[in-house]
Structure 1
Amino acid sequence: MATQWDDGRRGQHGRVETEEQRADRMWVDLLQELRVAQTGMQVLFGALLLAVFQPTFSRLGETDRALYISTVIVGACSVGLLISPVSLHRVVAGRRIKPQAVNVASWMARLGLVLLAATTVLVLLLLMRLAINDAVAAWLAFGVGSWLVLLWLILPLWAVRHYADRR
């Protein structure tokens, strides 16, 4: 039996919603996801910014300083991307292009997560270079980077493929 919302358009997940309703739902979902990512990124980035004021920072070698600067830049770009959907929404609000805005914001979030993973690996590499030898530090950073690729990319892609095939 059709409800007042059932105009015959069912999405791929069996929901009955208009394109605008779907965009609203996807926007709320995206904001919830970004809250988690932003919190982690802001804590990590804040710690990076404070590191320069520590007495031991002046004793870093050129390689570690270059690594630190690279990490801060990648981190800043990640922060920018993870916060940018808010600015996008403010600019496009009321212009009747929410579905398109959701697609752009989703792209920003995905790229922001890639840069967040890169920042995490670079921070780990920098810290491990200071704590242990360079070769072990590189392998540990590579291992964590691989772990993040597994958790943030391969596992979600597997889930999409595995569960979508069972529908």
Structure 2
Amino acid sequence: MTMTEQPVEPAEKDNARCTRHDSPSPQTGAETPETARERVNRRWNEVLQETRVTQTGVQILFGFLLSVAFTPLFRELETFDRVVYVTTVVLGAAATGSLIAPVSLHRFLSGQRMKDEVVEAACRLMMCGMVLLALTIGCTLLLILRVVIPGVLAEVLVGGVMLWFGLCWYALPLRLRRRAARRSGTDDAQRT
């Protein structure tokens, strides 16, 4: 039995319905109700899709990093660049572990009626993996640019890219989340 095919507990049938914020009803334009079980299934499917996207990227990047040590140019790297390389490989391995962990969680806990816990843990591991992936990309870029561009320009460019990642991956989602929370608070205040 897979996680999506688990029988619904009798108590879950009586759970209060959650509001699905992403699918207005076509007839009324209102938000459609979503049970707790539907919500956790939807969240799990979202985690799976996100995992597929990030796993591919981190695995390709990690494979590239592993091959660098066997190139002739690697022997010519300075000590600092070797430290950056080792740091990058370790970050890439850690990112790979975090981003593949939801698969292991699912496999070990499938059928244990722990889907809520699995989804929560998978979400946290994905966030951790995304931070590690951003750091891996930044270090990889630093390693490459230090070989290609002499001087401080490599560090400046990497700093700019990391700032961009921070804005796109973290600041924007947090800003949108706060905006939605304020809007929800305003809507709740208007109803009372």
Q: Give RMSD over aligned pairs.
A: 1.8
Distance in 2 between residues matched to 1:60 and 1:144, nearest whole Å: 23
Shift of residue 20, structure 1, vs aligned partner = 2.3
Residue 47 of structure 1, aligned match among 64, 75, 78 = 64
Shift of residue 49, structure 1, vs aligned partner = 0.9
Which residue does 2:137 correspond to in 1?
Answer: 120
Contact 1:74/1:115 (<8 A) preserved: yes
Distance in 2 between residues matched to 1:158 and 1:44, nearest whole Å: 29
Between Structure 1 and Structure 2, whose CA radius of gyration is higher? 2
Shift of residue 31, structure 1, vs aligned partner = 0.7
One-letter code of the match for 2:18?
Answer: R
SS across alignment from 1:133: coil
Matching of residue 67 in structure 1 with residue 75 in structure 2:
no
Contact 1:125/1:141 (<8 A) preserved: yes
Structural mapping, 1:38-117, within 5 Å = 38-117=55-134
Which residue does 1:9 correspond to in 2?
Answer: 17
Runs of 4 or more, structure 1, over 6 Å off, are none
Structural mapping, 1:118-157, within 5 Å = 118-157=135-174
The percent identity for this pair of structures is: 44
One-letter code of the match for 1:133?
Answer: P
Contact 2:84/2:139 (<8 A) preserved: yes
Distance in 1 between residues matched to 2:169 and 2:96, nearest whole Å: 18
Distance in 1 between residues matched to 2:151 and 2:124, nearest whole Å: 35
Shift of residue 17, structure 1, vs aligned partner = 2.8
Contact 1:79/1:112 (<8 A) preserved: yes
One-letter code of the match for 2:41?
Answer: D
SS across alignment from 1:11: strand
Q: Over residues 61-103 of structure 1, what are the superposed CA-to-partner deviations in whole Å (9 max), with x where a residue is unaligned?
A: 1111111011000000000000000000111111111011100
TM value normalised by structure 2 = 0.79
Distance in 1 between residues matched to 2:107 and 2:69, nearest whole Å: 34
Contact 1:23/1:102 (<8 A) preserved: yes
> Can you give the 5+ residue segments of structure 2 that lack an aligned partner in the other structure?
1-12, 22-30, 185-192
TM value normalised by structure 1 = 0.90
Shift of residue 12, structure 1, vs aligned partner = 6.0
Query: 1 or 2, which has the higher strand percentage?
Result: 2
> Can you give the 5+ residue segments of structure 1 that lack an aligned partner in the other structure?
none
SS across alignment from 1:96: coil
Q: How many residues align?
A: 163
Shift of residue 139, structure 1, vs aligned partner = 1.0
